Amino acid sequence: MVFADWVSLALLASALGGFTIIIDKVLLTKYAKDWIYLTAFLGVIVFLPFLIFPFFINIFTSVIFIGILAGVFFRLAVFSYMKALSFEEASRVIPLWLMSPIFVLVLERIFLEEQLFLHHYAGMFAVIAGSFIIMTRSVKGLFRLSPAFYLMILSGIIFAFNEVIMKFAFTISDFFPVIFWTSAGSMLTSVPFLLFKFKKRHRLFYRKDKLSLILPAGVILFFASIITYWYAIKLGPVSMVSTLGSADGLFVFFYAIIFTKFAPSVLKEAIDRKTLLTKAAAIAIIIAGVFE
């Protein structure tokens, strides 16, 4: 029963997270003037729903420092991801999060003394190969990796630290104190960036139409997806949850096709036959490597 719970929760988190990523892309390309300012702003406002926790639970437990540390890693990973998303297609960027479970496996080997076998290394090779394919573009006859590749590798590594730390925290504390302090750490990491931009009188949004709908929708979806994902980490093996959770790359791929086809004013990506086949093949190779 627990197995079914964490599997279904991880997949649900991926589906919800895919919509959140689409909203992030829309905010970055159609509303925000500065990706750093936007990322810091979101890091603060998504913490607001967590402020109700102290009224119902005891948040002052032994995981305050560990939770804040996990939150710092989480927000730093988001900064790297948002930078990549600011100049690259979402359906190219997000599948690279499928590399995160590989980093989680390595961290488990180092810190939790999990043993890695030959098929794990074969899987790593397949994931890396697929990642190169999806992030390689032809420029004047030469194949070059998009800079977003390196940013998403960095994001995946940092997220892996976040997930392993949170899994450890869940073994010594209840669920809600851990996620409260993780969210607090994420917010505290965002505040210096936000204050710096505010002091410089930078304008966050250059247009406001429909923003009152899009922004709350993004916050609600993020809150729902991250709570669901963190609870899946509490219930299941972190490497397997990370694997299923990284399936948001698949959801983004399909969401991007749907929006480009039926609502191009919201999101438009390249969906010609060659591009779709390349992306689909690369994602298939990455998935094969993850589940190796």
Per-residue pLDDT reduced to its tens digit, 29-72: 888 878 888 999 999 999 999 999 989 888 888 899 999 999 99
Residue 219 has pLDDT above 70, yes or no: yes
Q: Under DSSP, is residue 252 helix (H, G, I), strand (E, B) or coil?
A: helix
Point out which residues pair with 136 in neighbouring strands: 145
Per the structure, the count of domains in the chain is 1
Residue scoring higher pLDDT (60 or 245): 60
Domain that holds residue 172: 2-290
Q: Lowest mean pLDDT: which of 46-55, 157-166, 263-272, 273-282?
A: 273-282
What pLDDT score does 142 carry? 38
Kindly report the average pLDDT of the chain as a whole number: 79
